[in-house]
Chain A
């Protein structure tokens, strides 16, 4: 029998998390390279409607793993449900998106099965019959190809944006959906989650900004933020920041860009002293143009920059403010 790849898509409150399409695309690519069979699963109460949506894609089968105890999400219930399911199905490879929810339960699940997760991958290679997964190391400064040295199932999570969700192929016909009920014993679930909420409404909305000047830890001290502010003012733009700047209280949280901040897509994003960690990049990679100033020529931010200036921001920014002012007359 051929080996199986299982993609576990993510649902939240009965809706498919769109990032799951990227994982389906990844699964289809690995299936094409290896000749393995691709299947998918949805976990949750009321997973059936999402399973039907996934069944439209090119997958051999979709499982809806159901139990009333899966709502609301808890790591205990998700790990227990998937462990039961995977132990009976024995897929070779289990793929999931590297979401906050997945990183909350998948290391527990793998450990409970005596297995391991290669987490936060950005791609895969299949060379000479060997499957390796590529992931960023040292916050994107280096990359590593990582292989499994243990038995199946192999767990892999993929970083947001690593595959194109819109490239997930549709199937020639709808895949069969099988509902699987799992038993989760009393006492398994120890956490009691409350309602999900958003902090008081943000005072600053950067999503409509045309020009953003963003500062990172390269700005060194709170008082230096002033020069970034001057540049933003000269350009008629808004000031934003990476997370450490907001963590330090140098700028308010509502100016934070990234996975736990705002997602922006201005005409121009000027990054000053930002290294380009993935959690920052997901919040600004949709910008029309990115200019990065960083003293480290190997900073990952340069991989997504349209214009790169390798240098000390304290040398570059003051003359730039003057030139911009001159140009504006």
Chain B
């Protein structure tokens, strides 16, 4: 799970114009929330344990706390400011190194993050672990040989895929209905184990970033947009005039 700037947060560029200023509010990446929910539901059906993992600065612990409050059993935090600047390849390498002694059957990630939007970390992790993967998942059922998953394809098409476990699945928003943390859950979360992994512990697995953000900026507008301004009543009048005389839909 990843912590990303809140959807409505106004973003400001940093001095060097290569990233945003960190003083914004954060929230959990939306598809990751669905990935957690799916893990909790699978555990409710099949027993077992749900472990949540994030890589990010101290602030990212909030994501883990919320996940524990919703019902995850334990958490792993790759904690260092530097984890934010890793590309997807190295983030996946760091995660793979942090979980090398674990025996997971399934790893879920959100299908992409709301900040970078690379849509790669889960698939890269699968390749590093040597596991099969499937992306943009809308349903997961256990079967005799492993699992049957439902992949979302473009334009309203879907496909079921049978695959063995262990496997990595990238989860699409809307796969389930999210739960809220309960008060008792929030209380219990305080006593659940949270393992911290420092950058030093995984450093030897990492390499140089393979790609680099040269410049971050506000996109130039290409379309001519007419702004309609004024008090709401005035805007309404102006718009109706456009609807009638320019767009001819009235």
Residues of A within 8 A of B (CB): 75-76, 79, 99-100, 103-105, 107-108, 110-112, 115-120, 132, 135-150, 190-199, 202, 210-211, 217, 235, 243-244, 246-247, 249, 259-263, 267-268, 275, 288-289, 291, 296, 298, 300, 302-311, 315-316, 318-320, 322-324, 326-328
Contacts and interface: CB of A to CB of B under 8 A. Distances in A.
Given A137-B116, A268-B249, A316-B236, A308 B227 contact: yes
Interface stretch (B48-56, B75-83, B218-226): B218-226
A247 B154 CA distance: 17
B217 A142 contact: yes
B99 interface: no
Contacts of A107: 88, 119-120, 123-124, 127
B210 A116 contact: yes
Interface residues of B, number: 80
Contacts of A261: 156
Interface of B: 5, 7-8, 10-11, 13, 20, 30, 87-89, 92, 114-120, 123-124, 126-128, 132-136, 152-164, 173-174, 177, 208-219, 221-223, 225-229, 232-233, 235-237, 239-240, 242-244, 246-250
Contacts of B211: 116, 118, 146-150
A305 B225 contact: yes
Given A107-B120, A198-B157, A311 B235 contact: yes
A140 B208 CA distance: 27
Contacts of B115: 137-138
Q: Is the interface of B mostly helix, strand, loop or mixed?
A: mixed
Given A100-B136, A268-B247, A320-B235, A196 B221 contact: no
27 contacts: A75-B134, A79-B127, A104-B135, A107-B123, A111-B124, A112-B127, A118-B211, A139-B7, A142-B13, A149-B209, A150-B211, A190-B164, A196-B158, A210-B249, A243-B174, A246-B174, A260-B155, A267-B247, A296-B10, A302-B225, A307-B226, A307-B227, A308-B226, A308-B228, A309-B227, A323-B236, A328-B250
A253 to B, nearest CB: 9
B155 to A, nearest CB: 7
A261 B174 CA distance: 13
Closest 10 CB pairs of A and B: A247-B174, A116-B210, A150-B210, A107-B123, A319-B236, A107-B120, A190-B132, A111-B127, A323-B236, A143-B219
Contacts of A262: 156
B159 A198 contact: no
A76 B132 contact: yes
B227 A119 contact: no
Contacts of B248: 267
Nearest to A141: B11
A322 B210 contact: no
Contact of A132 (B214, B221, B247): B214
B222 A303 contact: yes
Nearest to B211: A116
A135 to B, nearest CB: 8
A303 B223 contact: yes
A198 B152 CA distance: 10
A289 B246 CA distance: 10
Contacts of B120: 103, 107, 117, 119
Contacts, number: 242
Contacts of A150: 208, 210-211
Given A100-B154, A107-B120, A145 B232 contact: no
Contact of B11 (A99, A142, A327): A142
Given A190-B132, A197-B157, A103 B119 contact: yes
Nearest to A111: B127
B127 A100 contact: no
Given A198-B158, A263-B155, A315-B232, 16 more contacts: A104-B136, A110-B124, A116-B211, A150-B208, A191-B132, A191-B161, A244-B30, A260-B156, A267-B249, A268-B247, A268-B249, A303-B222, A310-B229, A319-B232, A320-B235, A326-B240
Nearest to A268: B249
A191 B134 contact: yes
Contact of A247 (B5, B173, B235): B173
